[in-house]
Amino acid sequence: MKLFYSIDQNRHAPETFLLRGQPAPSPERPERAVRLAEAITELGLTLEVPAAVDSPHLRERLARIHTPRYLEFLETIHARWQAMPGASALVAPNVHPCGGGYQYPSHPVGQAGWHLHDMACPIGADSFAGMLASAASAEAAALSVCEGEMSAYALCRPPGHHAGPERAGGFCFLNNSALAATILRERYDRVAIVDVDLHHGNGTQDIFYARGDVWTGSVHADTDAFYPFYWGGADETGSGEGQGANVNLPLPLGSDGNTFMAALDALLLRLDDFAPEAIVVALGLDAHKDDPLAGLSLETEDFRRVGARLGQLSVPVVLIQEGGYPTEALGANLAAFLAGFRKGISAD
């Protein structure tokens, strides 16, 4: 299995975000990648650097899942924001078209409110470079599978699964899992995304909701009382050509590893009907009981079980790092997952 990571991801380094109306230290900071990379090294594995962190090919692939005006916004907004008198150091919205807007504004403040869904996505001077480096890592992992690897892992931060066609949210700007699936579609006709993050991948769902060639499935904490709140219900099954190709299995808050594994097994049974030729796993580690955003109560050993089950999948798999925030257990959780995944492959 090849593993990819670009240190340029650390150029996106927000110090705070808004939590329950109060500025709070951001858990989505470079320390995440440091801890995850250390765990990989301790397993005796090597992280490779993507061949390029910005290329015309990457830009073109991102344009298949995000709108042109959103990509332009991410790249240019900080400079335009700083040109305003009295602007803050970080781009942060103060108005949102909550009821739906009729016109797309030209003003930076209006665009920030249009594209930044919540207050967890401040943008700094070097943030776009970090976003591209994260996406490039996902691109490299997906390309390695297209070239013959049976599995690959991308250490990505910022994460991506809350990012929709033209919306950032939940620390996510560019949808790395959707990008990986898009690249796999260059070789395979039927691709699936299995999301095991604590949170529902609402951005991924929105990107593929009306498509039948990419199946999306998610096990997550029930969004009735948990982020992202407005997506993630079991009745969201796709539309048009995508009808039946979106499966959500929300779990009661506080659910343990046994409950999670039962739901994962049920999700994979539903996936069998789709018969995918390749799979993207949106890998969250934030379902751990000690995660600062905790909504479930998995133990470290539960991630070994999750990894082993996903390692038994009989098609090529791309692992894309999503959530999982700095705790003493973060590195151990990834190590447990990867050990289980590799064992599952061997057992299969």
103: its two tokens: 């016109």
- Cβ neighbors of 72 (< 8 A, separation 6 or more) are none
Task: Look up tokens 């709070």; give the residue.
Answer: 24
CA 283 – CA 285 distance, rounded (Å): 7
DSSP string, 192-252: EEEE-SSS--HHHHHHHTT-SSEEEEEEEE-GGGSTT-SS--TT----GGGTT-EEEEEE-
CATH pick for 2-52+126-347 out of 3.40.50.1000, 3.20.20.190, 3.40.800.20, 3.40.50.880: 3.40.800.20
Type of residue found at 244: G
Task: Look up tokens 């990571």; give the residue.
Answer: 5
If the chain, 348 residues long, is cut into consecutive pieces of 10 residues, what is the mean pLDDT of each piece? 97 92 93 97 96 94 98 98 96 91 96 96 97 98 98 98 98 98 98 98 98 98 97 98 98 98 98 97 98 95 98 97 96 98 81
Task: Look up tokens 């090919």; give the residue.
Answer: 57
Q: Please confirm, yes or no, whether 162 is among the known catalytic residues.
A: yes
- Cβ neighbors of 201 (< 8 A, separation 6 or more) are 161, 162, 177, 193, 195, 216, 218, 220, 282, 322
The residue annotated as part of the active site, out of 12, 78, 117, 162, is 162
CA 124 to chain centre: 20
Query: What is the structure's pLDDT at 348?
Result: 62
CA 342 – CA 175 distance, rounded (Å): 25
**pLDDT tens, residue by residue, 88-98:** 999 999 999 99
Round the average pLDDT of the chain to a whole number and report it. Answer: 96
What residues form DSSP beta bridges with 221?
251
Nearest Cα neighbor of 175 from 166, 187, 186 is: 166
Question: 0.85 cut: is pTM over it?
Answer: yes
**pLDDT tens, residue by residue, 274-293:** 999 999 999 999 999 999 98
**pLDDT tens, residue by residue, 168-181:** 999 999 999 999 99
- Do 220 and 248 contact (CB within 8 A), yes or no? yes
- Do 226 and 258 contact (CB within 8 A), yes or no? no
